[in-house]
Amino acid sequence: MSDSLSEGGNCTERRTAVTEAEVDALVRGICFKTGPPRTVGVELEWLVHELRLPQLPVTSERLAAAYATLRTVPLLSALTVEPGGQLELSSPPAASLMECVDIVSADLDTVRGVLAEDGLALVGMGHDPWHAPARFLREPRYDAMEACLDRTGPAGRHMMCSSASVQVSLDAGHEEPGPLGYEQRWWLAHQLGAVLVAAFANSPLVGGRPTGWRSTRQLVWMEIGAGRAGAPPPDGDVRAGWARHVLDSPVMCVRGDDGPWEVPEKLTFREWTRSRTHRPPTRADLDYHLTTLFPPVRPRGHMELRMIDAQPGDDGWIVPLAVTTALFDDAEAAETAHQAVKPLAERALNLPAPHNPLWADAARDGLADPELREAAVTCFSAALQALPRLGATRAVTDAVAAHLHRYVARGRSPADDLLDRLRRTDHRARARKDIRT
């Protein structure tokens, strides 16, 4: 939530007001840069909890001290902090899957070591299961974001302060048709995205109790609303559709040099270019507006897949990174995945993700849904075959195979482990109560 999509342009250009036509042209040029898939990246968001008793809250002062220490440590990945104090590591663009894995693994080892000295630990869950949303960062951007998102209910605060994810970044793809072409990769991302939600769902609890959803994190994104967290309509020209979506999405805030930022209501960027309400929008405002849109697949020159819950274990994040990379960057695996998810597309009713029945079923039921399970088995199997062709090590393929056999083939996700653990805890508590009475 703290990145920028600005590319090029001198300071004068960025201060000059932009027209509706200029915004349309800029977005088409910025957001889909085609070429052969060569690079991969990952952004890992983590909850930060007490090392020994994660149910206990961590004070803001303690987090701030730990993060100050972390900023003195050399890392190849960018280290940032989310509004609720979640920690994010963003890899540099890597030339291969294994280069990405090696860089981030080394950085994570360093980060974990520093945090452990303060009695803190990184926790891989899509939503904090114990603690209520609480702001850690007090900045104009997040004050404005909170004010904007509060208009649609509490989901925005949960997203800002209690959620964590694995975000995979891949090149947009070739200009021409085919499994590695950008149009088919864009389509695949929005259909396969539901399978990834289900296979890696890992956020079934809020306030220590089940929500009824395997991925409560995905539910939160759906509740934020289509204008802020939805994809454009799935048909038509990809570049034109995204440019139209950007123009017709609501402006989160109008930034100022002094004091709180203005938070307009029901002002789209298109209307802003026409009315010039508050002040005329500039190229810098467009760049900023792009960072305030949170669709499940965000085009940033490359594609950023944002639908995967943070995963359990020190290395659980490697599995969605490896599976997603294989299914997009290996032509044979991409074609298999395309055919596997094609039948699922009908369940989306031609509605944009994630606000359609397919994505809702994936978030609620996970791989207990038979059709999602069947597609996931096919896709994971195709990824396993493709990974050696992408240079993956035995350790990476073993991790993917373990997830396939432990979860996917059994119609389960990591969320089911959390629910089973809670049931066992509740059963023991009831048994102790019965003995006392």
φ/ψ of 373, rounded to 5, equals -60, -45
8 A C-beta contact, residue 171 and residue 304: no
Residues 200-234 pLDDT 10s: 999 999 999 999 999 999 999 999 999 999 999 99
Rounded Cα–Cα distance for residues 46 and 51 (Å):
13
**CA distances in angstroms from 20 to 27, 279, 293, listed in the order given:** 11, 15, 18
Question: Could you tell me the pLDDT band of residue 8, with boundaries at 50, 70 and 90?
Answer: very low
Rounded Cα–Cα distance for residues 366 and 71 (Å):
37
Give which of 296, 301, 250, 241 is closest to 271, Cα–Cα: 250
**384 pLDDT more than 80:** yes
**15 pLDDT more than 80:** no
Give which of 224, 47, 199 is closest to 123, Cα–Cα: 47
Residues 361-375 pLDDT 10s: 999 999 999 999 999
Torsion of the alpha carbons at 428, 434, 435 and 437, rounded to the nearest 10: 150
Residues 142-160 pLDDT 10s: 999 999 999 999 999 999 9
Could you say which DSSP state residue 44 is in? E
Taking the mean position of all CA atoms in its chain, how far away is CA 285? Answer: 23
**Three-point CA angle 350, 355, 358, nearest 5°:** 65
Give which of 272, 283, 307, 241 is closest to 32, Cα–Cα: 241
**In sequence order, what DSSP letters do the residues of 124-176 get, joined into one string?**
--SB-SSSPP------HHHHHHHHHHGGG-THHHHHHHHB-EEEEEEE--BSS
Percent of the residues in the chain that have a pLDDT greater than 90, as a whole number = 90
Rounded Cα–Cα distance for residues 374 and 341 (Å):
9
Question: Could you tell me the pLDDT band of residue 1, with boundaries at 50, 70 and 90?
Answer: low
HEC readout, 229-265: HCCCCCCCCHHHHHHHHHHHCECCCECCCCCCCECCC
Q: Please state whether 256 falls in left (phi above 0), alpha (psi between -120 and 50) or beta.
A: beta
Q: Which residue is listed with tokens 């940033």?
A: 300
**CA distances in angstroms from 47 to 31, 93, 120, 128, 363, listed in the order given:** 30, 24, 10, 7, 20
Assign 421 to helix, strand or coil.
helix
Mean pLDDT for the chain?
Answer: 94
Give which of 134, 129, 2, 147 is closest to 55, Cα–Cα: 129
**12 pLDDT more than 80:** no
8 A C-beta contact, residue 269 and residue 286: yes
**In sequence order, what DSSP letters do the residues of 269-331 get, joined into one string?**
HHHHHHH--SS--BHHHHHHHHHT---SEEESBEEEEEEEEP-SSSSTTHHHHHHHHHHHHSH
Single pTM value for the model:
0.94
Rounded Cα–Cα distance for residues 418 and 206 (Å):
12
